[in-house]
Amino acid sequence: MNLPQLLFYLIGAVILAATALAVTRRQPVHAVVYLVVSFFATALLFALLGAPLPAVLQVMIPAGAVMALFLFILMLMGRVELAAANRARAWTGPVVLALIAAAAGLSLLLLPGQTPGLPMAEARPAELGRFVYQNYWPAVEAISLLFFVALAGALFLVKDLAPSPKDEETSR
């Protein structure tokens, strides 16, 4: 096993761990921090595969803009934070995962002449679309259904925040 393959598995493990921890955290701010670590590790994975544009876009869009929006919304919600004793312990996980990902990224940058060990696949967009919709159409439909359920769940959660006309009449 050469170094790019080892880095691939190490970064993949960081992505899996950070995403799993993001899903299982009770505090939304900590979940967002784990998700940011996962997005940065995904950007490192793109860089390892020799795709710098998706790596930069991964850092700019999901890890930058979307997560800043999530943190802003969480701050507006005014959630109760952990006690000071638990706060330091809660940040050790994201810091450790971020350091592992940073070490993998630095080793990727500091090795001169090291090319990615994984070959790139080339296909035209029409070929890719035909392949995906011919071979994986159930997965595409399942993902679209999942997005629909997520949208319906978000609407259900937001429904309680909007004032109803009945509440406005009682306040007058």
Task: Write out 108-160 in H/E/C secondary structure.
Answer: HHHCCCCCCCCCCCCCCHHHHHHHHHHHCHHHHHHHHHHHHHHHHHHHHHHHC
- In this prediction, residue 163 carries a pLDDT of 60
As to burial, measured by CB atoms within 10 angstroms (0-12 exposed, 13-18 middle, 19+ buried), residue 127 is exposed
Average pLDDT, the chain: 78
Q: Is the pLDDT of residue 58 over 70?
A: yes
CB contact at 8 A, 58 and 12: no
Q: What are the structure tokens assigned to 168, written together? A: 């406005």
- In this prediction, residue 107 carries a pLDDT of 78
CB contact at 8 A, 48 and 111: no
Cβ within 8 Å of residue 46, ≥6 positions away: 52, 54, 55, 58
- In this prediction, residue 13 carries a pLDDT of 93
Q: What are the structure tokens assigned to 129, written together? A: 């679309």
Q: What percent of the chain has pLDDT over 90?
A: 9
- Mean pLDDT: which of 7-11, 15-19, 106-110 is highest? 15-19
Residue of higher predicted confidence among 79 and 11: 11
CATH code of the region 3-120 = 1.20.120.1200
CB contact at 8 A, 12 and 48: no
